[in-house]
Amino acid sequence: MEINHPHYHGRGVERSLFETFWKTITEQYCHILRIELYVREHNQKNVRFYESLGLVNEGRQAFKILNGTQLETPIHMAWFNPNYHSS
């Protein structure tokens, strides 16, 4: 999922979507242990944003993303469901 239309920047839309998503997972999908995503390393603003939402930085994956002719390094991040239990 990518939310990047300039109209929505700085309005709390992405935060609200993620908070609703986390709430849904914790209340209705307790069998899901974790949600993972990648953030491009150069985008430290988004790394900090996702950390503020409770995602954990699990490290770099050097040169994993091909962007045109350049290889970029993503940061692997994960959120853990506090209500997880195996079925």
> How far is the first Cα of the chain from the last one, in angstroms, to the nearest whole number?
28
Show the beta-strand stretches assigned E in 3-73: 34-40, 56-60, 65-67, 70-72
- 58 versus 4: the higher-pLDDT residue is 58
**Single-letter amino acid code for the residue at 13:** V
What range defines the domain where residue 49 resides?
6-80
Residue 63, domain member (yes or no): yes
Q: Taking a C-beta distance cutoff of 8 angstroms, is the pair 71, 24 a contact?
A: no
Q: How many domains is the chain partitioned into structurally?
A: 1
Average pLDDT, the chain: 90
From the CB of residue 48, how many other CB atoms can be counted at a distance below 10 Å? Answer: 10
pLDDT reported for residue 58: 96
The CATH number given to whatever domain includes residue 16 is 3.40.630.30
Residue with tokens 């990047």: 4
Residue 87, domain member (yes or no): no
Q: What is the model's pTM?
A: 0.80
Residue 85, domain member (yes or no): no
- 57 versus 63: the higher-pLDDT residue is 57
Residue 86, domain member (yes or no): no
pLDDT reported for residue 82: 95
